[in-house]
Amino acid sequence: MKKFIQHNPPHPGEILLEFYLDPLGLTVTEASDKLLITRPNLSTIVNKRAGISPLMALKLARAFKTTPHYWMNLQANYDLWHAMNNNKSVTDRVEQLVK
């Protein structure tokens, strides 16, 4: 299997905090109110304990004038890198069906 992602991508919550909330001077509480979610829900995302769901991607895209694809790609890249690096012993045992 070729390894396409060669670095540890940041968690989408880290991007959300550092590039959107902090520059806009928004607290997690203020942002959660505007996103119509609970503060604990947003807190788990920015603290890298939860990922971005498709619905959250839609809300973030609307709020920050981005696209939902942007947020979903951040999440997919993060998840894929961690899966590739944390499950190598399992994936290496899978038999190649196409040669």
- For residue 17, the enclosing domain spans 12-90
pLDDT of residue 91: 86
* Chain centroid offset of residue 16 CA: 9
Q: How many domains does the chain have?
A: 1
In a domain, 95, yes or no: no
Above 80 in pLDDT, residue 74? yes
pLDDT class of 73 with cuts at 50, 70, 90? very high
In a domain, 50, yes or no: yes
| CA–CA separation, 94 and 89 (whole Å) | 9
CATH at residue 58: 1.10.260.40
In a domain, 5, yes or no: no
pLDDT of residue 47: 98
In a domain, 6, yes or no: no
Contact 71, 60 (CB under 8 A): yes
In a domain, 25, yes or no: yes
In a domain, 48, yes or no: yes
pLDDT tens digits for range 31-66: 999 999 999 999 999 999 999 999 999 999 999 999
Q: What is the dihedral of CA 65, 34, 75, 57, to 10 degrees?
A: -60
In a domain, 3, yes or no: no
Q: What is the average pLDDT across 65-93?
A: 93
In a domain, 96, yes or no: no
Neighbours of 89 (CB within 10 A): 7
